[in-house]
A and B are shown apart, each in its own frame.
Chain A
Amino acid sequence: DAKTTQPNSMESNEEEPVHLPCNHSTISGTDYIHWYRQLPSQGPEYVIHGLTSNVNNRMASLAIAEDRKSSTLILHRATLRDAAVYYCILRGYNQGGKLIFGQGTELSVKP
């Protein structure tokens, strides 16, 4: 199964942008890059996903490297409610479409 590597933790100040990196050097051509986040005592929540091009939605932006071996989740203005564990996951057809979670990055936001 394709693996992702993320920093264990990151800190941000409130209302500043946050860039959460993810390395996925073994990504295959059909793997989508998904980002989910998990707030304490809750189930994971969808953030964003993409295949090759950069993506934007109301929650965040996803910047995908040209060789697709890395990506960055961008929160444009961090709020205290964004404090969570963020998971970068590859989802591919050769895995039956299943999601394999890594350890994720724990983001803390300081007021």
Chain B
Amino acid sequence: NAGVTQTPKFQVLKTGQSMTLQCAQDMNHEYMSWYRQDPGMGLRLIHYSVGAGITDQGEVPNGYNVSRSTTEDFPLRLLSAAPSQTSVYFCASSPPGTGNTIYFGEGSWLTVV
């Protein structure tokens, strides 16, 4: 049981490049989400999904796309990377219901130069 797996762990991008951060969970959780964390700040919600085929925007969705074609995977796409997207990205998953624990991945460190 691997939990929530994020790849890559570290990535350097040039401004304007695109890339996809991968997130996979093996717990059959319906709820998945992506957060970003800037230095000295709390986590901010980018996008979330309550099940396959269903996604919605969080607090800071601009510049990011998501899709949820399977229960297990929830990739985050950066369309045209900007230095302001330099951050640590965390993927999370949870069973449905607000009384359930949310499990986080170990994070992906992204630098845009």
Residues of A with Cβ closer than 8 Å to B?
Answer: 30-32, 34, 36, 41-46, 49, 51, 85, 87, 91-93, 96-104
Residues of B with Cβ closer than 8 Å to A?
Answer: 31, 33, 35, 41-45, 48, 50, 56, 58-59, 90, 92, 94, 96-99, 101-107
Q: Is the CB of A43 within 8 A of B99?
A: no
Q: Is the CB of B42 within 8 A of A101?
A: yes
Known contacts A46-B101, A46-B103; is-contact A97 B44 (Cβ 8 Å):
no
Known contacts A93-B98, A102-B42, A104-B42; is-contact A43 B50 (Cβ 8 Å):
no
Closest to A93 in B: B98
Q: Is the CB of B90 within 8 A of A44?
A: yes
Q: Which residues from chain B contact A100 at a C-beta distance below 8 Å?
A: 45, 59
Say how far A87's CB is from chain B's closest CB, in angstroms. 7
Q: Which residues from chain A contact B50 at a C-beta distance below 8 Å?
A: 96-97
Known contacts A44-B43, A44-B104, A103-B41; is-contact A98 B99 (Cβ 8 Å):
no
Q: Is the CB of B107 within 8 A of A43?
A: yes
CA A34 to CA B102, docked complex, whole Å: 10
13 residue pairs from A and B, CB less than 8 Å apart: A31-B98, A42-B106, A43-B92, A44-B92, A46-B101, A46-B102, A91-B98, A91-B99, A93-B98, A96-B48, A99-B102, A100-B59, A101-B42
CA A49 to CA B99, docked complex, whole Å: 7
Known contacts A97-B94, A98-B58, A101-B35; is-contact A49 B101 (Cβ 8 Å):
yes
Q: Which 5 A-B pairs have the closest CB atoms?
A: A43-B104, A101-B42, A101-B43, A91-B98, A46-B101
Closest to B107 in A: A43
Closest to A46 in B: B101
Selected contact of B97 from candidates A36, A87, A97, CB within 8 Å: A97
Say how far B73's CB is from chain A's closest CB, in angstroms. 18
Excluding A85-B42, A101-B44, 4 further A-B contacts by CB distance (< 8 Å) are A43-B92, A44-B90, A96-B48, A99-B43
